[in-house]
Structure 1
Amino acid sequence: MNYTIENIVQEDWESIANIYLEGISTGKATFQTDVPTWEQWDSSHTRTCRLVARLDDKILGWSALSPTSSRCVYAGVAEVSIYIGKEFRGQGIGTSLLNRLISLSEENGFWTLQSGIIRENVESIELHKNCGFREIGVREKLGKMSNGKWHDVVLMERRSKITGIS
């Protein structure tokens, strides 16, 4: 499949929101129950490091970073979000997006990327491991879904070998 990886623009939002909703519906991609508005999403993610995988006019998946803290000492630490459209999972798009996001994050001064992944989301845990993340712990029964089921969250981290080193 000959897709490109490009920066997100506001016009991509409808497709991004649909892919996000597909993730929500799995019950293992996020604790979110509703897709935010563009304005909510835009204000909660970094201005840089927002990517889509695009095939012609179709968005296949997206990835973006969110700041973990407003404190200046954490300016180089960000939380990863990555979602792949249901019909495109398992085709290497997630690996391409996450690897490009890692490169872009280092270009923009991020030294640590972290992810909190619902334990049942084995595919995402493996994706992160394959892209250089390591498991640093598990937070047990951290989130409760609307159906009353509690879920553990696997904490994963990737430290840059080129940014933030002194």
Structure 2
Amino acid sequence: MAKPAKSVMIDIGIDEKDRAAIADGLSRLLADTFGLYQKTHSFHWNVTGPMFNTLHAMFMEQYTELWNALDEIAERIRALGFPAPGSSGQYAKLTTIKEEQGVPPAMDMIRQLVEGHEAVARTARKVFAAAEKGGDEPTADLLTQRLQIHEKTAWMLRSMLE
């Protein structure tokens, strides 16, 4: 569990134990989002084949959205009074996203990204219990937005596999 940042006392109506549990879950969401961002960006650079233009542009849109989400998630962790993880070592310990060491064919890239978006959705869903217990509506709202994006993106990618 993350240790609170050394600063002024925080009194936002969520006790420290609940804030810590929420920040811990959000740290896992941040790590998964970063792992999926890296994978999507790499696939953008390395995709080839007859769907190159479509996938290259789609992957760019997706990694840009993921990049922007990182800031929102990290800032919510900070608003709760905890440091946001920011190193590759921290992310490696927290993430459920498997790294791709090579350059798979385009259809395998799509499959991996479907799996990645579904994994991030599962991670986001797990944080809801802590957010609800603590009465943390801003985190619940953030999680809802992230779930909508990841579930829609997974559906769109999955549609390309049919």
What's the TM-score, normalizing by structure 2? 0.31
Give the greater-gyration-radius structure (CA): 2
Larger RCO: Structure 1 or Structure 2 (Cα < 8 Å, ≥ 6 residues apart)? Answer: 2
- Which has the larger share of helix? 2
What's the TM-score, normalizing by structure 1? 0.30
